[in-house]
Amino acid sequence: MTQLIAAIALTPNATKTLQPICSNIGAQLWIPESITNIAQAQTYRGDLKTHVASLWETQAAIVFCLATGAVVRLIAPLLQHKSTDPAVIVVDETGKFVISLCGGHQGGADKLTTLIAQLIGATPVLTGVSASLGLPAVDMLGVPFGWRRGGGDWTGVSAVVARGESVQVIQEAGSNLWQKAYSFKDSPTPQAKIYITARNVDKLDYPQIQWHPQVLWVGIGCERGTTKETIAKAITKVFLEYKLAESAIAAIATIDIKADEVGLLELCQERDLPLITFTKEVLSAVTVPNPSNIVKSEVGTPSVAEAAALSASSSQTLLVTKQIFKSVGAVTIAIAQSKQEYTGRTGKLLLIGTGPGQLDQITPAAKIAIASADVVIGYSLYIDLIAPLLQPEQIIEAMPITQERQRAERAIELANWGLTVAVVSSGDSGIYGMAGIVMEQLQAANWDGKTPSVQLFPGISALQAAASRVGTPLMHDFCAISLSDLLTPWETIEKRLIAAAQADFITALYNPKSQTRTQQLATATAIFLQYRDPNTPVAIVRSAYRPDEQITLTTLDKLLDTNVDMLTTVLIGNQTTRTHNNWMITPRGYLGFGDSVASVKL
């Protein structure tokens, strides 16, 4: 988590409850001076009320381990509006309950509450109507895509959704990806309307709200020294005339010689808009409806505003041709609309290993990454296994098992657009998982190593999960070999099998058999029988830690007597591996260098 989160404890027991939470979500633990010797905690002086007030404006969330009533009294004077207040979460001292108190939707308290509950095995308490019904909140619909909230009766529309009444969505701009997370009951006579548009909609008699995707690219030409106020007035005049929403502006575009224009820079800084500039050569190559010889003689291109708007938006037509506004200085404005909105965000790829599939086998960091993503992409089975971690407003894209490359391409596409995308694999994502395919695709696209950002979250690999179910078969040198020849020539796989068998490596066989590949395991077994004793212990583990788990301990000469498939991992021991009372044990030492565990120097 990159946003600032504060956690507050007043007793030693409360600090013990909050410490693991803080370490996993990146929160700063605050304690009074009366509590000492608490690692990674900061102390505050004076009364708690003053300290909370000092944190209120700077923190995205505050987590209290305190009585709910006390927290209510502390924050009541500080509450302003749900769009600006930090999220407030309460955890009881025993760690049994986590309560989303304030800022459930827009503040992210519901999501953080669910996450903390997952981390400490507590019960999340979400009292919002949307949460209780399992519905995404309408005030979060456009957040992943950088949409800005427009006018309307937000409370009224939320109430209509909560009552299960019909809502009509009129979308005129922006991505329709939201439809993968949201569905509304529709009818010819809706009780509410949601507009997704770049224009301002006249107020209606029944509840309606407006989301404004950032799809309008404003091309501007101006005289040197034109003030910010003059430029702003010109934009407002044009937008009012054409009934466009200024909150739908994606960026300001102009010629590069205006990159230092003070009025433009101040306007962009004030409105948090990027300023995009183009050379005169680029602008000259754009066909515009209203070229000007006067402009060409002054700056070297027949168009600044129109050409810049078209270039920035990658559009072929203008929504508004150039409009000239004269006051203190002169401003020319043109507007183009892009097909895809500008998100204003740097995308992230979170490459996550979910381990064998059980939620308690997934690392806390991986759980946080899954819950915080805008989009979760993976094989449909793996998506099903992590369903309790998914959030109602998340975009979920489950794909068939054979579409690994398509999953990687889709994840990169969405991350390049500015979304945070979690790509999940079972086991460890970097061991026969999706991480390798994603990194390979990024390299092929000449990725700069920074944008989108990439973070890998390790998971318990299949060989580790399988080994843990049968004992300690991997206690000495081991290797893993996939028998799938879809991506590796069988000749290469065979060489690796021979080398592993000769070198007496404990060997984990991945992908041992599929419906179309039935001979590879037989060949591998024959190779190992050339170099290993027929009585070498073998573990065959299918779906480790899942409800349909199957475990078979056998020997190398009987390996083929057991049915295996793509969900099976085969562990072949080395010459020191033994079985004992249904456990598979490989000593840490090696024959000839100390035969017993006792002889190994610890």
Which pLDDT value is given to residue 7?
95
Which pLDDT value is given to residue 393?
86
Peptide linkage before 356 cis (omega within 30 of 0): no
Q: Whose CA is closest to 47, among 62, 26, 59, 32?
A: 32
Mean pLDDT of 169-179: 95
Give every CB contact of residue 391 below 8 A, 6+ residues apart in sequence.
Answer: 111, 114, 371
Give every CB contact of residue 569 below 8 A, 6+ residues apart in sequence.
Answer: 462, 463, 465, 466, 508, 509, 510, 512, 540, 541, 542, 544
Q: Collapse the DSSP code of 412 into the 3-class scheme (helix H, G, I; strand E, B; otherwise coil) and give the result.
A: helix
Reduced 3-state DSSP string for 368-384: HHHHHCCEEEEEHHHHH
Which pLDDT value is given to residue 111?
86
Give the CA distances from residue 183 to residues 161, 163, 264, 356, in Å, rounded to whole numbers and listed in that order.
10, 14, 41, 32
The per-residue pLDDT for range 108-125, each reduced to its tens digit, is 888 899 889 988 889 999
Mean pLDDT of 5-18: 94
| pLDDT band of 592, cuts 50, 70, 90 | low
The per-residue pLDDT for range 188-237, each reduced to its tens digit, is 889 999 999 999 988 777 899 999 999 999 999 999 999 999 999 999 99
Residue tagged 């209203």 (tokens):
290
Quote the distance between the C-alpha of residue 265 and its chain's center. Answer: 32
Q: How many Å apart are CA 98 and CA 437, to the nearest integer?
A: 38
| pLDDT band of 1, cuts 50, 70, 90 | very low
What is the average pLDDT score of the chain? 92
Give every CB contact of residue 9 below 8 A, 6+ residues apart in sequence.
Answer: 15, 17, 18, 29, 30, 31, 35, 65, 66
Q: How many Å apart are CA 24 and CA 7, to the nearest integer?
A: 12
The string of DSSP codes covering 68-116 is: HHHHHHHHGGG---TTTSPEEEEE-TTSSEEEEEE-SSTT-HHHHHHHH
The per-residue pLDDT for range 341-387, each reduced to its tens digit, is 999 999 999 999 999 988 889 998 999 899 889 999 999 999 999 99
Q: Which has more pLDDT, 597 or 405? A: 405
| pLDDT band of 326, cuts 50, 70, 90 | confident
Q: 97: exposed, middle or buried (C-beta count within 10 Å: 0-12, 13-18, 19+)?
A: middle
| pLDDT band of 593, cuts 50, 70, 90 | low
Which pLDDT value is given to residue 596?
47
The per-residue pLDDT for range 437-468, each reduced to its tens digit, is 999 999 999 999 999 999 999 999 999 999 99
Tokens of 584: 């598979």
The per-residue pLDDT for range 139-168, each reduced to its tens digit, is 889 999 999 999 899 989 988 988 889 999
Which pLDDT value is given to residue 295?
92
Q: How many Å apart are CA 551 and CA 569, to the nearest integer?
A: 10
Q: How many Å apart are CA 113 and CA 378, to the nearest integer?
A: 25
Which pLDDT value is given to residue 358?
86
Q: How many Å apart are CA 470 and CA 303, to the nearest integer?
A: 74
User: Do 577 and 554 meet the contact criterion of CB atoms below 8 Å apart?
Assistant: no
